[in-house]
Amino acid sequence: MGATGTGKTSVRQLYRDYKYTIGHGLESHTRNVRAVRYRHPSDPSRTYVFLDTPGFDDTYLSDTDILITISNWLTATYKRKMLLTGLLFLHRISDNRMSGSALRNMDMFQMLCGDSGLPNIVLVTTMWDQVIKEAGEMREKELRDTFWQPMIDKHSRTARSHHTTESAWEVLSQFAKEHRPIKLKIQTQMVDEGIPLSKTAA
Whether 161 maps to a domain, the answer reads yes
- pLDDT above 60 for 161: yes
Number of domains within the chain: 1
Whether 87 maps to a domain, the answer reads yes
Where residue 138 sits, what CATH number does that domain have? 3.40.50.300
Domain membership of residue 65 as a residue range: 8-199
Share of the chain above pLDDT 70, in %: 84
Whether 80 maps to a domain, the answer reads yes
Whether 3 maps to a domain, the answer reads no
Candidates 190, 187, 177; CA nearest to 86 is 177
Angle at 8 between CA 198 and CA 75, to 5 degrees: 30
How many other C-beta atoms lie within 10 A of the C-beta of residue 100?
8
pTM of this prediction? 0.81
- pLDDT digits over 81-114, tens only? 988 888 889 898 988 888 888 888 888 889 889 9
Burial class (CB in 10 A: 0-12, 13-18, 19+), 121: buried
DSSP 3: B
CA dihedral 57, 60, 65, 69 (to 10 degrees): -90
Whether 1 maps to a domain, the answer reads no
Residue 20 pLDDT class (50, 70, 90 cuts): very low
Angle at 111 between CA 108 and CA 115, to 5 degrees: 140
CA dihedral 37, 41, 45, 46 (to 10 degrees): -60
- pLDDT digits over 30-64, tens only? 347 777 777 777 777 777 777 777 777 777 778 78
Q: Report yes or no: 122 and 155 within 8 Å, Cβ to Cβ.
A: no
Residue 180 pLDDT class (50, 70, 90 cuts): confident
